[in-house]
Amino acid sequence: MKKDAWKFSKDASFSIVSEFNLVCEKSYLAALTSSSLSEIVEAKHRVLVGSFYNIPFTLSYLALTLLAYYVDHWRKIVFYTSSPVFSVVIMTFMLPETARWLYATGKTEKAEQLIIKIAKLNQKKT
């Protein structure tokens, strides 16, 4: 009798919790992005690109440590670290719809006007 190579936990709470963490935490995305990045780059540059990929994470940990050292209350730290989210929310209302979306929804005239506007900003002929 052949044994099955896959071993699953029979404990329902364990599998539900682990799947919940997999879906909600999305910790798999960092590994997926890193591995995808290493697939794109030539073999001789993979170590360098992988190192540069992790620099923003290191700098953000350093900045958070410095912030925690100089700020006297944890609520101020939460405010300072979450305040960039507000700029992203505001920008979503300020950015125009993309030309691709406008074409896909049948708003071709509006899409062409947007492309002409972008071409003028980029100093290209229309």
pTM over 0.75: no
Strands, E, within the chain: which ranges? none
Structural domain boundaries in the chain = 55-95, 96-126
pLDDT at 16 over 60: no
Three-state DSSP at 69 gives: helix
Question: pLDDT digit string (tens) for 70-105?
Answer: 999 999 999 999 988 888 888 888 887 888 888 888
CA 9 to chain centre: 32
Average pLDDT, the chain: 77
pLDDT at 20 over 90: no
Token pair in block for residue 66: 């410095």
End-to-end Cα separation, the chain, in angstroms: 72
Label residues 92-109 b or e (16+ Cβ within 10 Å = b). eeeeeeebeebeeeeeee
